[in-house]
Structure 1
Amino acid sequence: MLSASDRVVLLQHDGLKSLTGKTGLAMLRHRPGPIVAVVDPSQAGGSLRAITGIEREVPVVGSLEEALPFGPEVAVIGLAPSGGRLPDPLRRDALVALQRGLNLASGLHTRLADDGELRAACWDDRWIWDLRREPEQLQVAQARASALLCHRLLTVGTDMAVGKMSACLELLKAARARSLPCQFVGTGQAGILIEGGGVALDAVRVDYAAGAVEAAVIEAAECLPAHGLVLVEGQGSLCHPGSSATLPLLRGAQPTALLLVHRADQSTIERLPAIPLPPLSELVALTEGLARLARPADAPSPRVCAVALNTARLDATAARSAVEALSQDLALPCTDPVRWGGAPLLEAVLQSEAN
């Protein structure tokens, strides 16, 4: 429901300098459409660049009322608060946004359209978009995406929140720069809000998860020629004990190539340090083995064609060294696409498809 041209105001209360604001921060980094203001009372009047390091000029204001002169059309909840419940200051600004005739978009598990006060405040010709809803008319996956002629890349990560979405979006940017027909399938709230479509995988019942991915990939591929590319945002990790997302993505997308995403110098699950990560070479082999299953006999087996390395915690010199070392260790192309662009990874994907 969110179009690329919609003028967005981010409701980012106390989230510009916190991981709870990761949805809004991702939109600030990657959304190509206009973001006219950010509401964060704790940072009001500050420079977005100085606060976040994001190279984008957007005013930071203290309330929704202060954002109105910038002409927003859609208020987007940029937080992912614990438990999915809106903090009172943010809820008040969401209510004001609806009362003033704005649309409202949210990726929270809590459905704002089910809130009587918010629903009553929404104008008749406006909308509340709770994107974390299970799609209608779900089917069990049947490997139908394997019949698509276009290329399909799935990002797979060594952990949660290592940059799978960012890697996809940098590849999308690189594809657009070279006029390669390309579509992005978002599978989490930030990716869907940034590009305007996809499937919220964690809102789908497990038996239908692969089918929901399958349907989204097929829909994305409808407008693509045979040499086009569908980029499927990965979720979770095979290495994480709390994640079950990778298998339905593999089954539903039927990828023709895989991109491994890893954080430099990480050796354990970030929030569960007692759980070690396997050697990356072993993880590559395991992922490729799983990807070979549940495919038609004549469908080629996807390979990990490159590595996107998240070097955000390293300086430039250390980042270069980490990229070179990992590339040599795995004998695969490697770069940090956020730091240096996605063109080398896109080239690796296209080369793998040509072989």
Structure 2
Amino acid sequence: MLSADAPVVLLLHGGLDNLSGKTGLAMLRYRQGPVVAVVDPAHAGAELEPITGISRRVPIVADLNAALAYRPEVAVVGLAPSGGQLPPELKADLAAALRAGLHLASGLHTPLASDPELAALRGAGQWIWDLRQEPPGLEVAAARAAALPAGRVLAVGTDMAVGKMSACLELTSAARRAGLDARFVGTGQAGILISGRGVPLDAVRVDYAAGAVERVLLEVASEPACTEESLLFVEGQGSLCHPGSSATLPLIRGCQPTALVLVHRAGQSHVNKHPQVGIPPLKDLIDVLEGLAALGRPAGPQPRVRVVALNTAGLSETSAARACAAISDELGLACTDPVRNEPAADRLLASLRASEGTRTPE
């Protein structure tokens, strides 16, 4: 429902400088269409880049009414709070957006369209897109994606929020720079808002989760010009290491990957907010991931972890290079941080393409 060229205002109340705002921050970094304003009272009037490191000129304002001067058409909830519930401080600005004739888009678990107060404010022609809903008519997965001719690259992580979506988006851009047909498949709220399509995996009942992934892969692969030379980059979710995550397995089952990209945060030794849950040696985790990916699939080449995308945020260039080199030496795999710059993403893509199993031509 969110068109690529619609001017949007991001509602990022209190999330501009921390991970609770990761949806809006991802849109600021990767959305190709216009982002005309950001609402965050804590940083109203400040410059975006010193706060976020994102070099995009977008005004930060105190409330939705102040954002109207920049002529947005859609107000997007940019927060991703724990549990996906609507933060109370957003309610007034959502109401103000509807009164001003704007559309709403939200990836929260709290549905906005069924809220009586908001529904009463929606005018003729206005829409509210609650994207975190289970698609209708799902089926149990049956390994149908394994027959697709296009390469299917799945990001898998050592934890939640380590940069799986960012790695996929950067690799998609690198592939397009190289003249390849590359398509990003979103599986979370930010990825879907950025690309305009995908499946909200955490809104799907577990029995149908792999089937939902399978269906969206089949849909993307059926689009014109998708051939055996195409690459489908599938956004990862969760982690096998996280005690509260169950998303990795249905992604593996549903997309039947031809290659895996391991995403890890430099120096991280345990699951975030769970210091008692350690992250195993990367080699051991890779063995588990590849073993799982080898099960539940038709005969044929088995998917392998081909490269490592290392999140080096907060490290200097020198420290980041050392961290990447250490992991590369440890695992015998190419390792870069594709978010740091285009050459790093291009190198990671080149290593991925050179690896057996990606089904991409030289």
Q: 1:351 aligns with which of 344, 349, 354?
A: 354
Please list, as runs of the form range in 1=range in 2, the aligned pairs for 1:41-60 lying within 5 A after superposition: 41-60=41-60
Structure 2 unaligned regions, length at least 5 = none
The one-letter code sitting in structure 2 at the alignment partner of 1:79 is L
Please give the secondary structure, in 2, of the residue aligned with 1:337: coil
Structure 1, residues 102-139: CA drift from partner, whole Å, max 9, x if none? 11000000000010111121222121000100001000
CA distance in 1, matches of 2:168, 2:201: 16
- The answer to whether 1:114 aligns with 2:114 is yes
Which residue matches 1:316? Answer: 317
Partners of 2:305 and 2:341 lie apart in 1 by 20
Shift of residue 32, structure 1, vs aligned partner: 1.4
Report SS of the residue matched to 1:49: helix
| Contact map agreement 1:132 1:189 (CA 8 A) in 2 | yes
2:180 is matched with which residue?
A: 180
> Distance in 2 between the 1:292 and 1:97 partners?
49
User: Aligned pair in 2 of structure 1 residues 152, 84: CA closer, same or farther (>3 Å)?
Assistant: closer
**Residue in 1 that maps onto 2:75:** 75
Deviation at 1:348, TM superposition (A): 2.1
What letter corresponds to residue 247 of structure 2 in structure 1?
A
Superposition CA RMSD, Å: 1.3
Rounded to whole Å, the distance in 2 between the matches of 1:240 and 1:284 is 15
- 1:164-185 deviations in Å (ceiling 9; x for gaps): 0000010111122222111111
Check 1:277–1:318 CA distance in 2 against 1; reply closer, same or farther (3 A cut).
Answer: same
Secondary structure class of the residue paired with 1:16 = coil
- Percent identity reads 62
Q: AA paired with 1:152?
A: R
Structure 2 residue identity aligned to 1:139: E
TM-score (norm. length: structure 2): 0.95
SS at match of 1:220: helix
List per-residue Cα deviations over 1:140-164 (Å, max 9, x = no partner): 0000000100000000001111100
1:83 positional shift: 4.4
The match for 2:305 is: 304
Unaligned runs of 5+ in 1: none
Q: Distance in 2 between matches of 1:123 and 1:232?
A: 36
The letter for the 2-side match of 1:229 is: L
Alignment match, 1:253: 255
Report the counterpart of residue 13 of structure 1 in structure 2.
13
Q: CA deviation at 1:86?
A: 3.0
**TM-score normalized by the length of structure 1:** 0.97
CA distance in 2, matches of 1:110, 1:15: 18
Kept in 2, the 8 Å contact 1:184–1:220? The answer is: no
- Report if aligned partners of 1:95, 1:121 keep a CA contact under 8 Å in 2: yes
Q: 1:254 to 1:83 in 2, by over 3 A?
A: closer
Amino acid in structure 1 at the alignment position of 2:148: L
State the Cα deviation string for residues 8-30 of structure 1 (Å, max 9, x = none).
10011111123221111111111
Distance 1:239 1:81, change over 3 A: closer
Q: Which amino acid aligns with 2:333?
A: L
Secondary structure, counterpart of 1:161 in structure 2: coil
For residue 36 of structure 2, give the secondary structure of its aligned residue in structure 1: strand
1:85 to 1:288, Cα distance in 2 relative to 1, 3 A: closer
Q: Is the 8 A contact 1:186 1:198 kept in 2?
A: yes
Query: 1:245/1:84 Cα in 2 relative to 1: closer, same or farther (>3 Å)?
Result: closer
Equivalent in the alignment of 2:332: 331
The 5 A counterparts of 1:204-243 are 204-223=204-223, 224-243=226-245
C-alpha displacement at 1:282, in angstroms? 1.2
Instruction: Kindly tell me the number of residue pairs found equivalent between the two proteins.
Output: 354
8 A contact 2:228–2:359 mirrored in 1: no
Distance 1:322 1:262 in 2: 11
Query: Secondary structure in 2 aligned to 1:187?
Result: coil
Bigger CA drift: 86-95 or 57-66? 86-95
AA aligned to 1:351 is A
Moved more, 131-140 or 8-17: 8-17
Cα deviation digits, residues 235-266 of structure 1 (max 9, x gap) = 11111111111110000000000000001111
Give the conservation status (yes or no) of the 8 Å contact 2:150–2:359. Answer: no
Contact 1:140–1:208 (Cα < 8 Å) also in 2:
yes
